Structure 1
Amino acid sequence: MEDSWWVANLKALESRPQRLEALITMNTTIAKDAALSRQIIERLLTTAELYDCANSAADSHVPKDQAVDVTLELLGHCLDQLAMDTADEQLPSLLRRGLTHQNPALRALVLARLLKELRRQLVAGQVRTLPNNELIFLILDELKQPDTEGTSLAINILSIVLVQRLSDADVQAKLVHLLQQNEIVRCCAYELAVVLAKESAATLSAVKFILDAALSELDNDDVLLQASVMELLVPLAKQNHGLSYMERRRVLDIISTRVQSIEEHPLEALLIPSIMKFFGKIAAYQPLKIIAGYPHMLACLFQQLQSEDESILPTAMDTLANLASTPQGKMLLHLHFNAAVEESFKIYGSYTKKLSAPIKERLLNSLDVIYEVETPPTKELNAILKSWYECFAGGAHANVIMDLINTPFPDLQMAALALLKTICKYDWGIVALKNTGGAVEFLLSRQRDLHRNIKYIKWQIMEILSASAEFSPTETVRFTAYVNEGPYHVQADLDIATEPQGNA
């Protein structure tokens, strides 16, 4: 189409009765033409009337949702055809209207296309150098918007491009300005700083002023804000330079003292689940630091696990799973807290009989994390896990798990079967299953009313059993036949037809 055709249709947007027809016409055309000139793309991306059509304000002449949807689709086609070169000085002016628009869906659309291009550059091994700060400032402004899809997109973009200009005084000033906003915006800045700081000690140093501001929030009276900041700080401990920074600032010590001072400050009891989650997640990266270094935190955790309080048990169960998620974590727990772990597993066994179905499911999922190992465990670790399991099950059998499989709750059934599958990766787990009356028969059954996912997990377990030496040749043949038939095999019904006898 000639440039004049596009000018005429864009002009038609000024007339509300003609607006929808013009939008549909342009959208249909651009969808078919994948080679529009740069001039036309620039005209479309800089026309104010087109962006007005993306506003969700009511319009008596145009069906609101349809007009907005067509506009977003049209602008999406424009962005797809734009050579989004981040080194291009014109790019910020072409994206400005979209990045500053009141419709969050449009802002997210532009951000998503920009992130896609930056990730392409990352894969290619070279992120183009930005000519100035204009684009960075536009993206940083997204963090001041209400929390939307655009927030995470903006943080992902900034994690790629901001490293180029972190030392720039104007960029630093813009970041400081974010720290002067409300707590939601500040938390976005903290999240961005953690993402950047993870990359290297140098970038951590450049955003240290933001991290320091985050740590100051831990003295805030707002429990929810403190919990949010703790959650944001966790990934920092994954890298040694990040953990070193946290140790220098005594972050772990400061947070752990909250647990010890609950009697003096009862309101801080509300923080305990968040503190447990914080230490548990860090323990997944740094088990020695947490398990050996903060015994009173572990003592508090085991106390929570015995509480029967369904409001705190899920977090406590997840925390124990994080502590024991690595081979080192399991060994350290055995070394320092084995009696408490065994007692907790016994309590878990009792919980399967009296707590609500969602908590039972969370319990099973946490056990699955503990027993899932990437590499075969050592002989010592294998013995430890066997001992813990028998504390949970009350012996070398799987009756507790089978009882949960036989409940009427599909999600609970799947969680129980998933744990059984994980347990069967150990020889002692297969023996426990073998020792459980009715377990093998249930796995071999072809019940038609079972959920599709349950049938698949059953089939996976049979695949493990068919390769085990614990069963007789006859049983192994049956298991192999089941596996070969597939997870969703349906046995044919044998109907014996009889003809009615005629009168003699």
Structure 2
Amino acid sequence: MDDNWWVTNLKALESRPQRLEALTAMNTTIAREAALPRQTIERLLTTAELYDCANPAADSHAPKDQAVDVTLELLCHCLDQLTMDTADEQLPSLLRRGLTHSNPALRAQVLASLLKELRRQMTAGQVRTLPNNELILLILDELKQPDTEGTSVAINILSIVLGQRINDPDVQAMLVQLLKQNEIVRCCAYELAVFLAKKSATLLNAVTFILDAALSELDNDDVLLQASVMELLVPLAEQNHGLSYMERRRVLDILSFRVQRIDEHPLDALLIPSIMKFFGKIAVYQPLKIIGGYPHMLGCLFVQLLSEDESILPTAMDTLANLATSPQGKILLNMHFSAAMEKSFERYGSHIKKLSAHIKERLLNSLDVIYDFKTPPAKEINTILKNWYECFAGGAHANTIMDLINTPFPDLQMAALALLKTICKYNWGIVALKNTGGAVEFLLSRQKDLHRDIKYMKWQIMEILSASAEFSPTETIRFTAYVNEGPYHVQADLDVATEPQGNA
């Protein structure tokens, strides 16, 4: 279509009766054209009347305007055909109307297109340098909007490009403005700052004023806000320069002290699960710092693990899993808290018989995290894990796990089978399964009423057993045949015909 055709249809948008027909015609044309001229795309992206068509009805009870959907689709086609060079000085003016529009769906659409381009540049090995701060200011403004699908996309974009302009006075002023907004907006700023600070000590220094503001929230009376801020700060400790910043600000010491003085400030008891989670997640990356440096926190955790309070047990079990995720974490826990770990695993064996199904499932999942590995563990860790398992199971068998597999709860069955599969990666785990009456027979059975996922998990376990030297050649042949038949093999029913006996 020539330029006049587009101009005529865009002009028709001024008349509401003609609007849908004109939008549909343009949308059909652009969807059919592989590549429209650049000037046509620019005209569409900068025409105010087109964006007016993307405004939803102000009255929530009004019927949905079909024109809005067609407009969003048309603009999406435009963005797909736009050569979105972030080094182009024209790009902010082409995206401005979309990024400042009142319809959050449209803003999210534009942001998604921009993020896609930036990720393409990252894959290619270099993010283009922005010619000025216009685009960054437009995207920062999205964080001040009510929380929408575009918020997380905006944070992802800014985490890629904001470092280029972080010291620009206008950018700094906008960041300061974000810190004066409501708690949702402030938390977006904190999340963005953590994204940047993780990258380098230089960027951390540039956003220190935001991180300091985040830390000040830990004195807030709002328990949920404090918990959210702790969750946001965790990734900062993944890098040594981030952990150093937190140590300079004595974050870990202050939180640990609050736990120690819980009797003086009873309301802080509401924060203990969040504080435990905070320390546990940091321990995944810094096990020596947490396990060796904060024995009181570990003591508090073990007290929680021994309780039967289902409101705190899930977080406590997840925290122990985080502490014991890394090889170093396992060794340190055994070195400094051997008796407490054995007692906790013994209590796990008790919990798994008494507590509700969803807590049992959470417990099994946390054990799976502790026992799973990417590379075979060293002999010392293998011995530690065997000891912990036998404390949990009450000996070198898998009776406890098999009891859970035989429950009528599919999710619990799957969690138990997943742990059994992980345990069978260890030779002592295979021996434990072998010592369990009925376990091998269950795995070899071809019950028709089992869920597909359970059948597949059984098949995976049999695959491990078929490669083990713990079984006799006859058993290994049976296991191999099972594996070769596949997880969903159905055994044929054998009808044995018998001739009726005649009268003597």
* TM-score (norm. length: structure 2): 0.97
Following TM superposition, by how much is the alpha carbon of 1:499 offset from its aligned partner in structure 2, in angstroms? Answer: 11
Q: Judging changes above 3 Å, is the alpha-carbon distance between structure 1 residues 59 and 278 closer, same or farther for their aligned structure 2 residues?
A: closer
**Once the two structures are superposed, what CA deviation does each residue of 1:14-50 show, in whole Å capped at 9, x if it has no partner?**
2223222222221111111011011111111112222
Amino acid at match of 1:399: N
Q: For residue 278 of structure 2, what is the aligned residue in structure 1?
A: 278
Q: Deviations over 1:424-447 (max 9, x none)?
A: 000100000001111101101111
The one-letter amino acid of 1:457's match is M
1:52 deviates by: 2.1
Aligned counterpart, 1:474: 474
* Distance in 2 (alpha carbons) for counterparts of 1:16 and 1:373: 63
More off after superposition, 103-112 vs 233-242 = 103-112
Range that drifts further, 323-332 or 212-221: 212-221
Equivalent residue number for residue 90 of structure 2: 90
- 1:106 and 2:106 aligned: yes
C-alpha distance after superposition, 1:364-403 (max 9, x if no partner): 0000000011221121211110010011101110011011
CA distance, structure 2, for counterparts of residue 500 and residue 390 of structure 1: 57
Aligned position for 1:245: 245
C-alpha spacing 1:411/1:44, structure 2 compared with 1 (3 Å): same
Q: Deviations over 1:439-479 (max 9, x none)?
A: 10110111111111111111110000000000010100010
1:448 aligned to 2:448? yes
Specify the alignment match of 1:313 in structure 2. Answer: 313
Query: Counterpart of 2:353 in 1: which secondary structure?
Result: coil
Moved over 3 A (4+): 495-501
Deviates more, 1:447-456 or 1:361-370: 447-456
Query: Does residue 212 in structure 1 map to residue 212 in structure 2?
Result: yes
- Residue 201 (structure 1) shift: 0.6
Residue of structure 2 equivalent to 1:144: 144
Between 1:206-215 and 1:121-130, the stretch displaced more is 121-130
The within-5 A match list for 1:154-193 is 154-193=154-193
| Mapping of residues 348-359 of structure 1, within 5 Å | 348-359=348-359
- What secondary structure, in the 3-state scheme, does the structure 2 residue paired with 1:198 have? helix
Q: Output aligned runs, 1:235-384, within 5 Å.
A: 235-384=235-384
1:118-154 deviations in Å (ceiling 9; x for gaps): 1111121221111111100010011111222211111
Distance 1:461 1:93, change over 3 A: same
How many residue pairs end up in the alignment?
A: 500
**Residue identity opposite 1:417 in structure 2:** L
Change (3 A) 1:90 1:250: same
216-225 vs 361-370, greater mean Cα deviation: 216-225
Instruction: Note the C-alpha offset of 1:362.
Output: 0.5
Does the aligned pair in 2 maintain the 1:58–1:64 contact within 8 Å?
no
TM-score by length of 1: 0.97
Instruction: Look up the SS of the partner of 1:292 in the other structure.
Output: helix
8 A Cα contact 1:178 1:189, kept in partner: yes
Compute the displacement of 1:352 (Å).
1.2
What pairs with 1:405-420 in structure 2 (closer than 5 Å)?
405-420=405-420
Mark the runs of 5 or more structure 2 residues left unpaired by the alignment: none
Change (3 A) 1:435 1:46: same
Q: Which runs of 5+ in 1 are unaligned?
A: none
Hey, what's the Cα distance between the residues in 1 that align with 2:25 and 2:202?
Answer: 52
Aligned equivalents of 2:85 and 2:443: distance in 1? 57
Q: Which residue number corresponds to residue 131 of structure 2? A: 131
Paired residue type of 1:312: I
**Residues 57, 65 of structure 2: 8 Å contact kept:** no
SS in 1 for 2:437: coil
How far apart, in 1, do the equivalents of 2:226 and 2:392 lie?
A: 35
Distance 1:31 1:59 in 2: 31
More deviation in 186-195 or 7-16?
7-16
How does 1:3-14 map onto structure 2 within 5 Å? Answer: 3-14=3-14
